[in-house]
């Protein structure tokens, strides 16, 4: 849908293809963290208005509230993990402006590319089970061919998909697949049509699969590649991707409210995604916006500066960015990484699998996660996300057993994103 798809020409929305919090930003923000502990939460500490955790975060909450007011951000929810436990989680502002429904730590929101960490975790589980291997040619598992036409003899592997070195590009059909509601086409069917299209050469880069240092532009980052990983999970398990995630990730971690399809989550608890109409807004070049508006009748009256509410939308490849979750449940997932692959007696991944994934033996990168250096060179693992009406970040430091989660229901938090990251990291010092 031209005019709505994320691009440099139209700042109305933000794509997962754009980096919200770069490794350089995080490296600068996380210097100086320490390890002093705080008391952790119990179930009785949970509340819609007060959030999760003990007291002592009044300064952080004031800073967040100031940033949200200054940048006119509709809603935000965040969480802090210290010593491997969720010590603070709270929502601010509104999940839905029109009804004045508050944002809370349990408000659902589509989390964008942070979803990829869940997809990668499920792939690692499949590798542990012997269903997949990192250097396996994906064509061994598919009933259609995935090959870069320029390098037809070069196999594309699971490892390459995980680290964005497959040479697969996000073509126009990917951008055009955004629509209100759940995807209309099964994942495997959409991917088959994508890789069998007459224009398939346009959906690959001009460099070979496995290139160690591809050109910076166009970006090597591929959402469609993660869609393909999700379909590989379907092929080796004979389950849908969402069922694989539910049985391998959500159920073991108690993530009962998280899901992908709207009929599997509580849509009434879902935040409305909002985009801010830019100053140079031109309705004639943003006609696609109408299709993702919650109230399309508002399109003709939109003015620069207005807050435009989106419908609860989807796109063709949910494994790359369509998990709907909340701060409390994402904290359980993040804590399983901090606790070396397990949480409360449930083993998500073997410790050796986790160590392998978070190493640089994969074309000089880790599998899925980005690493930033902080004080003393300690790694800070993170993944950000962005899409129409949302901006997200999940990050952790394994040695200090700390982490943070940020969920905005706007694609344009502006300086509030960096300011809140800084304030939350200061709380972990």
**What secondary structure does DSSP assign to 237-275, as a single string?**
HSS-HHHHHIIIIIHHHT-TT-BSSGGGS-GGGBPPPEE
Q: In the prediction, which pLDDT does 319 show?
A: 98
**Two tokens, residue 36:** 């002093």
Neighbours of 212 (CB within 10 A): 9
Give the residue among 339, 256, 356 at the shortest CA–CA distance from 85: 339
β pairing state of 402-408 and 75-82 = antiparallel
Give the residue among 314, 393, 396 at the shortest CA–CA distance from 111: 393
DSSP string, 398-410: TTTTEEEEEEESB
Question: What one-character DSSP code corresponds to residue 43?
Answer: G
CA distance 47 to 42: 11
Contact 73, 67 (CB under 8 A): yes
Question: What one-character DSSP code corresponds to residue 69?
Answer: H
**Two tokens, residue 208:** 């070979």
How many residues are recorded in the chain? 429
Q: In the prediction, which pLDDT does 415 show?
A: 97
pLDDT by residue for the chain (429 residues), tens digit each? 222 223 222 333 334 333 333 334 333 333 333 333 323 333 333 333 457 876 789 999 999 999 999 999 999 999 999 999 999 999 999 999 999 999 999 999 999 999 999 999 999 999 999 999 999 999 999 999 999 999 999 999 999 999 999 999 999 999 999 999 999 999 999 999 999 999 999 999 999 999 999 999 999 999 999 999 999 999 999 999 999 999 999 999 999 999 999 999 999 999 999 999 988 888 877 766 788 999 999 898 999 999 999 999 999 999 999 999 999 999 999 999 999 999 999 999 999 999 999 999 999 999 999 998 754 457 789 999 999 999 999 999 999 999 999 999 999 899 999 999 999 999 998
Please compute, for residue 204, the number of CA atoms within 13 A of its CA located in the half-sphere on the CB side.
26
CA distance 50 to 75: 15
Question: What one-character DSSP code corresponds to residue 280?
Answer: T
Which pTM was predicted?
0.89
Q: In the prediction, which pLDDT does 287 show?
A: 65
Q: Could you check whether the bond before residue 319 is cis, i.e. omega within 30 degrees of 0?
A: no
Give the N- to C-terminal CA distance of the chain in Å, as an integer.
45
Fold of 23-114+250-272+314-427: Beta-lactamase (3.40.710)
């Amino acid at each position: 849908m031209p005019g709505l798809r994320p691009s440099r020409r139209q700042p109305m929305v933000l794509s997962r293809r754009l980096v919200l919090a770069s490794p350089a930003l995080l490296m600068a923000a996380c210097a100086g963290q320490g390890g002093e502990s705080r008391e952790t939460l119990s179930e009785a500490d949970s509340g819609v208005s007060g959030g999760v955790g003990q007291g002592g975060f009044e300064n952080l909450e004031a800073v967040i509230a100031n940033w949200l007011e200054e940048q006119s951000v509709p809603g935000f929810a965040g969480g802090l993990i210290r010593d491997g436990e969720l010590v603070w989680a709270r929502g601010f502002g509104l999940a839905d402006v029109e009804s004045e429904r508050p944002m809370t730590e349990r408000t659902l929101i589509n989390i964008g590319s942070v979803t990829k960490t869940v997809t990668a975790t499920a792939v690692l589980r499949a590798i542990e089970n012997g269903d997949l291997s990192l250097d396996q040619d994906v064509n061994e598992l598919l009933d259609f061919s995935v090959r870069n036409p320029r390098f037809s003899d070069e196999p594309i592997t699971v490892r390459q998909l995980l680290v964005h070195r497959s040479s697969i590009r996000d073509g126009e059909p990917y951008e055009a697949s955004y629509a209100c509601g759940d995807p209309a086409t099964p994942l495997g069917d959409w991917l088959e049509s994508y890789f069998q299209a007459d224009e398939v050469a346009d959906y690959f880069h001009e460099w070979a699969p496995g290139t160690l240092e591809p050109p910076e532009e166009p970006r090597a980052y591929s959402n469609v590649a993660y869609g393909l990983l999700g379909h590989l999970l379907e092929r080796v398990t004979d389950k849908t991707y969402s069922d694989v995630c539910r049985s391998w990730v959500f159920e073991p971690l108690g993530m009962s409210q998280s899901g992908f399809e709207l009929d599997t989550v509580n849509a009434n608890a879902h935040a409305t995604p909002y985009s801010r109409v830019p100053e140079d807004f031109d309705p004639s070049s943003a006609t696609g916006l109408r299709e993702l508006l919650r109230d399309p009748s508002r399109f003709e009256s939109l003015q620069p500066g207005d807050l435009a509410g989106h419908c609860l939308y989807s796109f063709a490849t949910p494994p790359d960015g369509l998990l709907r979750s909340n701060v409390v449940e994402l904290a359980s997932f993040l804590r399983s990484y901090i606790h070396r692959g397990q949480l409360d007696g449930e083993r998500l991944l073997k410790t050796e699998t986790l160590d392998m994934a978070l190493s640089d033996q994969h074309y000089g990168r880790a599998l899925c996660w980005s690493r930033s250096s902080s004080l003393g060179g300690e790694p800070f693992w993170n993944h950000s996300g962005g899409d129409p009406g949302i901006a997200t970040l999940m990050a952790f430091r394994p040695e200090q057993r700390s982490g943070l989660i940020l969920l905005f229901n706007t694609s344009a938090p502006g300086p509030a994103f960096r300011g809140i990251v800084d304030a939350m990291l200061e709380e972990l010092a």
